[in-house]
Structure 1
């Protein structure tokens, strides 16, 4: 503020001096012009009806204006926060209807329009559930007669749902409440992530990247993960049994591997717009954030914040929102069920 006020004072002083100079030079004096027509012209006006014709010739505008100052100011203002500055602020809890309790949340997603998608998955049946922006249940989108481990937003109104041992991944239209396509692969389909053009489908045996434009697919050698995330061309994976989080190139080469005592039985993972990696550490009821370079981490939520049995997590990079699945207790009935908490990060 001090430096800014000093600059404002300099500019204001220069403007004041300039204004005083105009005043002294008579630039602000009011001048009234009076015209007296000569009597000699009166005789000409009697005979001459027109002094000529006026034509307007228009030429193209050649001045070029470069408007870069506004963008430059935005670049100066935008700074990537430090790891210790990330502090989630809770906004709401999804309301799970009593007749749907208990549910087993294996994935929760924030859709681009702000609605929430929950994958309630059981051994023989799975349900894709849609919730409003306020966290109220709206409707069931699709029911699968099998175990479905994961889901992700793809593009438009489409989401992908992995079908586990069926070695398939289904594309679902959320608005039309129907499966529009099924992708067959050569391996079990567990984790799934998308960047709108490509689809990464992972397992601890094999992983595949699918081109959504032509349906071509390639086996990703070296990428074995329970859950995956996709951000700016890199693939991120969690390995539950090894308490490990890895970052890979889209071709499969490992960029970094991270292990820490705060990460125990990691479940799903997601990234924010700055490249910070958010992990649902189910083994110790924590949400842990890893720095973009994969060197440091910080616990941002724990059991003290009401987090318990957390496996699913997602972020909306455009709005800075995060959703986390958690188990909560019903004190009056001595029971518990799963729901999801929404935070601003």
Structure 2
């Protein structure tokens, strides 16, 4: 695999991570005004409109019906199931706990890729990944928040990360074939349709009375929800699909470990949450470990290997 192609993949993975990290802070803020399913519907609606506008402007060739079906159904894994579980879980857990649990996705991706496609990680890759998790544990657990206060949030977010890991591994097999904007738009349209079917149940609750005060939500909250949808679902997913065209699913998954760091930085900037020296040390460990993973992947790559830390 050419060095330029790898660099493109790594850059796209970082951009996806940046979008998802920023969106964590935005979504957590939006949950103060929206219940989780309603927020997911609003976010997906803005993302789908944005993506289909781009698809129409690009005028690329469309896949056939069978190919469309193969790629479209993955939208049920992510964003539908993943973010339905994550946003619901975030109503029970704090932002730090949610960020830490999202870092589990990269480990799940490695395990699933190894089981399904025999993309086995090297010992160096495993060692550096352990350093990443150690650094994240230091960053997010320094103030005693390593264990979730609410087990329901922990279980829901962990299951959401499992669905996301399956999505990444399976998407890596189709990301190289079709236009990424069309793939993501199709998947999210299906997810939006399913969310629309279950949305009335959240609005009415079990009593049959409307329990979501939509008219009282401010324009600022609506703007936050709509913008976070474009960032979290449209831009982030497109960047990640581009990354999967150039690097393996396992290596792309490793860069997801930056999501909690970006989330913490966003909380520091926008929510005035201060980082301790111990947390800064953990963040530095994560950065160093990820750089070592990238350098090791490029050094060990040969035409006879699957490269990117996998043999």
| TM-score using structure 1 length | 0.20
| TM-score using structure 2 length | 0.21
Q: Identify the structure with the greater helix proportion.
A: 2
Q: Identify the structure with the greater strand proportion.
A: 1
Question: Higher relative contact order at CA 8 Å, sep ≥6: structure 1 or structure 2?
Answer: 2
